Chain A
Amino acid sequence: MSTTAPVAEKAAAAKRPKRYSRRVVVGLSGRYLTLCLMLVVLVGPIVWQFLTSLKGRGESVYEGVLPSDPTLDNYARVADAFPLFQYVGNTLIVAALAITSNCLFAAMGGYALSRAGWRGRKTVFTVLIATLMFPFESVMISMFLTVREMGLVDTLVGVWLPGAVSVLNLMIMRAAFLAVPKEVEEAAVLDGANEWQRFRRVFVPSAKGALAVVCITSFMGAWDDFLWPLIVLTNSDNYTLQLGLKTLAGATTVNDQRLIAAGAMAALLPMLLLFFALQRYFFRGVGEGAIKT
């Protein structure tokens, strides 16, 4: 066996170059073909929705993929059909609150959790992890009662407050602060920095990437969420974008797919832009809380 192997290999090597490259070409084109197929499956519906939103009123929604006469008319009309800008404004208020509170409180809490040697650290950590076990849907009724007790039903603050700090974000910040070398902290102590100064000047600047992840997850949560706003908000003046979109689609007066497509695109495009601009943070967010808790 061991004596025949080199011989066989030599023979194969002589034949290889041509066959090998053809196999690569076939394999590669097969791969690209499959990739394109998956692209059609996963992105096709979104692109189609976008193209539909550009179709004029006279054009059939189903016939032909490309709009024959692209127009932004539907986007103007959708703003008339429902208070789009008000809903976007409401959503942005919730998102701004969520980003601020999550960054601030998660950073502070994560800092405390990352520091060793204080009483109760383990208990606090265990309690926080335990709360991750409760699916939102199984506590939403009680959550609603709490928010009602606080007089926050039908307010944007009521939409924001329960998500004001997420435990996942606490853990992301904790992991980031754990990575700060002890020597850096000690150097700051020697320079006479107090605890808050160390947190603010040494730790926070070293965890910018993690903060970006927290910002993005908070924004995405506020922008995309549906069920909780649906429970808290009753007056349509206070609706967030997703709620408004559902109402628009459900309204019998609006039976125009181009209009609904325009509304959906208005809700999707900002997220898409953000994603393509900052995608490494999106992907990091998936891994981050996952690996280093």
Chain B
Amino acid sequence: MAQIAGTDRGAATVAKGADRVPGPPGARETRRLKKELGQESGLVHRRWWTPYLFLLPGLVLVVLFSLWPFINTVILSLTDAQILRGGGFVGLDNYVRALGDDTFWLALVNSVVYTVVVVPCLVFLPLALAVLVQKKIPGIGFFRSAFYTPVIASAVVVGLMWQWILRSDGLVNTVFEKLRLVSEPVPFLTDSTMLLVSAMIVTVWKGLGYYMVFYLAALGNVPTSLYEAAAIDGAGPVRRFFSITVPTVKPMMLLVGTLSAISALRVFTEIYILGGESGGPGGDSRTLPFLIRQVGLGFAGETGYAAAISILLFLLTLVFSVLGHRLSKGDES
């Protein structure tokens, strides 16, 4: 479910980005008009409710499990509801409480730091990777597919794998000790900051192949004649990369930035697997989704308070969406 919601989230932003990026302006508009004219010219007739019959199952499910939960979250955030009983209206008390709650601030800071570190990595590294696999040389198909395998592995499998690599008696520490780089094991998983860093590494490792595919699509749009012209003008590969490739894929960079920011804000499983159910030592590596689950569920779950944190998380993702949108808009004009 989380996975599905994740891709969902992406598509909305992609969609908005894509509307502006390729194609001549107004192509969609023309197509829509054409369709409607076809309709009016009168071969295809349908009753007004037929489309609704087709949409019914999908619409019911979306309303029930997406629209309503969101409205309900807004309502709940204004009450003192708990998991086992409904609540009364308390106004903005939950939000005020969050602002004075150290646990909330820690989770917020963790989530934001996570995002700020992960996003640049996922904007630039996959681009480099895409440039690396773009050229059609023998065997490149194999490399492209192979680089995508971390994407299809589940977060649990990936988490378990890296847990084993980063444990105090794991691969990295064993190697470090053999090389006498460290006197005692690096606490990758037992120190709250290091745990976050480890989870970031896992997120970047798992995301590289995914965003590489985005960039490959964008790189395919760069006309080769531009490179040839630049080469004739004496621009080296580095120069060509920065003055041709980067400007062309800039809209895609903004898109990838937005998408990876939102998925970084949603990180849960990596930390849960690497740091355990409590969210690292003393729960100090908890991110916002982690906190929401801990506060809101269980026998003493405070649904009202968790709902308020949920809304704050939503607003945070919204900020990044709007930011990405704005930047790409400003870019166009």
**A109 and B146 contacting across the interface, CB-CB below 8 Å:** no
Which residues of B have CB within 8 Å of A223?
154
Which of B40, B73, B161 sits near A142, CB closer than 8 Å?
A: B73
Which residues of A have CB within 8 Å of B11?
132, 167-168, 171, 289-290, 293
**A156 interface residue, CB < 8 Å from B?**
no
Which residues of B have CB within 8 Å of A104?
57
**A39 interface residue, CB < 8 Å from B?**
yes
Which residues of B have CB within 8 Å of A276?
145
CB of A234 to closest CB in B, whole Å: 11
With A109-B58, A118-B48, A182-B35 as known contacts, state yes or no: A224 contacts B3, CB within 8 Å. yes
The chain B residue sitting closest to A257, CB to CB, is B164
**A131 and B4 contacting across the interface, CB-CB below 8 Å:** no
**A46 and B156 contacting across the interface, CB-CB below 8 Å:** no
A225 CA to B5 CA, complexed, in Å: 10
Q: Give the one of B4, B6, B76 with max A CB within 10 A.
A: B4
Which residues of A have CB within 8 Å of B6?
136
**B15 and A293 contacting across the interface, CB-CB below 8 Å:** yes
Which residues of A have CB within 8 Å of B147?
38-39, 42-43
Q: Give the one of B54, B165, B318 with max A CB within 10 A.
A: B54
**B283 interface residue, CB < 8 Å from A?**
no
**A168 and B8 contacting across the interface, CB-CB below 8 Å:** yes
A20 CA to B313 CA, complexed, in Å: 55
**B59 interface residue, CB < 8 Å from A?**
yes
Interface of B is mostly: helix
Q: Give the one of B15, B55, B165, B273 with max A CB within 10 A.
A: B55
**B59 and A135 contacting across the interface, CB-CB below 8 Å:** no
The chain B residue sitting closest to A136, CB to CB, is B5
**A162 and B65 contacting across the interface, CB-CB below 8 Å:** yes
**A66 interface residue, CB < 8 Å from B?**
no
With A131-B70, A132-B11, A186-B43 as known contacts, state yes or no: A165 contacts B311, CB within 8 Å. no
How many B residues have CB within 8 A of the partner chain? 107
Which residues of B have CB within 8 Å of A42?
146-147, 149-150, 205, 208-209
Which residues of B have CB within 8 Å of A225?
1-4, 154
**B12 interface residue, CB < 8 Å from A?**
yes
Chain B residues numbered 207-229 whose CB sits less than 8 Å from any CB in chain A: 208-210, 213-214, 217
**A272 and B65 contacting across the interface, CB-CB below 8 Å:** no
**A62 and B310 contacting across the interface, CB-CB below 8 Å:** no
**A111 and B7 contacting across the interface, CB-CB below 8 Å:** no
A33 CA to B208 CA, complexed, in Å: 18
A267 CA to B156 CA, complexed, in Å: 9
Which of A106, A167, A231, A283 sits near B66, CB closer than 8 Å?
A: A167
**A292 and B18 contacting across the interface, CB-CB below 8 Å:** yes
With A113-B55, A178-B31, A225-B3 as known contacts, state yes or no: A139 contacts B66, CB within 8 Å. yes
Chain B residues numbered 1-36 whose CB sits less than 8 Å from any CB in chain A: 1-12, 14-15, 18-19, 22, 31-32, 34-36
With A133-B318, A227-B269 as known contacts, state yes or no: A220 contacts B213, CB within 8 Å. no
Which of B9, B59, B72, B150 sits near A46, CB closer than 8 Å?
A: B150
**A38 and B129 contacting across the interface, CB-CB below 8 Å:** yes
A162 CA to B65 CA, complexed, in Å: 5
Which of B10, B143, B153, B272 sits near A268, CB closer than 8 Å?
A: B153
Which residues of B have CB within 8 Å of A35?
132-133, 140, 143
The chain A residue sitting closest to B147, CB to CB, is A42
Which of B69, B152, B171, B265 sits near A272, CB closer than 8 Å?
A: B152
**B132 and A287 contacting across the interface, CB-CB below 8 Å:** no
| Binary flags per residue of B128-152, CB closer than 8 Å to A gives 1, else 0 | 0100110101001001011111101
A41 CA to B204 CA, complexed, in Å: 12
Which of A141, A221, A229, A272 sits near B4, CB closer than 8 Å?
A: A221
**A136 and B137 contacting across the interface, CB-CB below 8 Å:** no
With A132-B12, A227-B1, A260-B160 as known contacts, state yes or no: A142 contacts B307, CB within 8 Å. yes
Which one of B115-123, B179-187, B191-199, B292-300 is at the interface?
B292-300
**B292 and A131 contacting across the interface, CB-CB below 8 Å:** no
With A146-B68, A165-B61, A286-B213 as known contacts, state yes or no: A135 contacts B5, CB within 8 Å. yes
Which residues of A have CB within 8 Å of B160?
245-246, 249, 260, 264
| Binary flags per residue of A85-129, CB closer than 8 Å to B gives 1, else 0 | 000000000000000010011101101110111111100100111
The chain B residue sitting closest to A52, CB to CB, is B164
**A220 and B3 contacting across the interface, CB-CB below 8 Å:** yes
With A127-B67, A182-B35 as known contacts, state yes or no: A132 contacts B296, CB within 8 Å. no
A190 CA to B272 CA, complexed, in Å: 59
A161 CA to B65 CA, complexed, in Å: 8
Can you pick out 18 interface pairs between chain A and chain B where the beta carbons lie within 8 Å of each other? A34-B132, A39-B147, A45-B162, A49-B161, A109-B54, A133-B317, A134-B314, A138-B70, A165-B62, A166-B4, A224-B153, A242-B157, A249-B160, A276-B145, A282-B148, A286-B210, A289-B14, A293-B18
Closest 7 CB pairs of A and B: A136-B5, A132-B12, A293-B15, A228-B1, A109-B58, A224-B154, A142-B69
- Other than the known A185-B44, A227-B268, A249-B163, what 5 A-B pairs have Cβ atoms closer than 8 Å? A142-B73, A162-B1, A227-B269, A283-B213, A287-B213
